[in-house]
Every structure is written in structure tokens, then in C-alpha cells.
Amino acid sequence: MRNFVKIAEGVDVVPLLVAVARQPHLWNENTLRTKHPGTAHAEVDDILLRFNEIPEGREKRVINDTECVNYPALAALPQARPLIFGLMAKLEGERLGRCMITRLRPGGRIYPHKDMGAPATYYERFHVVLLSAPGCIFQTGEEQVHMRTGEVYWFDNTQEHQVFNNSAEDRVHLIIDIKTSK
């Protein structure tokens, strides 16, 4: 596979998954990714842990997509920190970008798209699978992968990609953007 590389398995994601389940109010506190016209993520729920700063009093748009700040959800979910910073340490990351938890409900879809700007060109994207069941397919070009709970993948998000959740379970991923020395 060229667009996906499994870099870990057997990661203990239960503490974060339980913490998220206990705080359902954290979902969709910020809908920047999911509610704009034409978004590929319209069927996704998000918890933004770390994201670009959105200036107060301005229309909701990102001014600088390289700089990221911690959002209140990161403090509410300290169980995410060992997963995020453990991966940073393992990869000898130089800079931490966006960190978010995404949920795609059964029957949901993330439509074909390519990520643009710094989240795709400056950072590398990693998926920590918090919950996934057979039938959930991540596709880029001709490549398809079912990412299993507890696995971690590097993913080339500059390529057109889409996700189908044809399972009876939610698909929940922790997405982490890390700048490495490559």
C-alpha cells in the first residue's frame, strides 16, 4: 500500500473511548469542518481537541492553518494526551498540528475529497482508531483498508479519499497531525 501505513496495533484506546462516551456534550461544539457548504464531512461529528485559532468577531474561517491551539475539549479529555504525545515522541515530531476525534455513524459516508493547505502539505496525518467494525472502509484510489480498533495508521491525505461506514457500529478515530523531519 502506498497511501496507508500501519505503524502500530494493540494500542489501548479504552480510556479515551470511555471518557468520550461519558461526555457526549463535547460532540459538535465547533462545526467548522462539518457545516460549511459543500463539505465532504457533512455526516461526521467532531470533537476538536487542537485546531486552528478562529478569531472572535470574524466570520468562522481559519486565518493561519499552520498554527494550532488547544481547545477546551483537550482539557476535558486528558486521556487523549498519552495517545497524542506518545505518537509525537515515537515519531520524533517537531510540531503538533490539528488533533480531533471524529465519529461517522453506521451507514454514514465521508465524501471524496483531498485535504489542502498546511494540514496536508506541512503536517503528516495519523489515525488512531478508537472504534471500528468490519464493513467500515477507508478508500484512496484503488486502495481500501479496514482500520481496526487499536491500530494506528499514517495516511497520505493529499490524495483523494473517502470513507464508507457499512457497519452497525460508529467509526471513531483520533486524527493527529504531526510535523516530522521526514
Nearest by Cα to 147 from 130, 161, 162, 160: 130
Mean pLDDT of 56-80: 81
List the chain domain ranges: 4-53+62-179
CATH 2.60.120.330 is held by the domain 4-53+62-179: yes
What is the pTM (predicted TM-score) of this model? 0.94
3-state secondary structure at position 154: strand
Residue 58: pLDDT over 80: no
Residue 1: pLDDT over 70: yes
CA 178 to chain centre: 12
Strands of 152-155's sheet in order across: 4-8, 152-155, 124-131, 171-179, 95-104, 44-51, 69-70
Residue 175: pLDDT over 90: yes
Amino acid (1-letter code) at residue 47:
I
What is the reported pLDDT for 66? 83
pLDDT tens track for 87-129: 999 999 999 999 999 999 999 999 999 988 777 889 999 999 9
Residues 6+ apart with CB under 8 A from 31: 46
pLDDT tens track for 130-139: 999 999 999 9
Mean pLDDT of 11-15: 98
Confidence at 63, pLDDT banded by 50, 70, 90: low
Phi, psi of 5 (to 5 degrees): -135, 120
CA-derived radius of gyration, the chain: 15
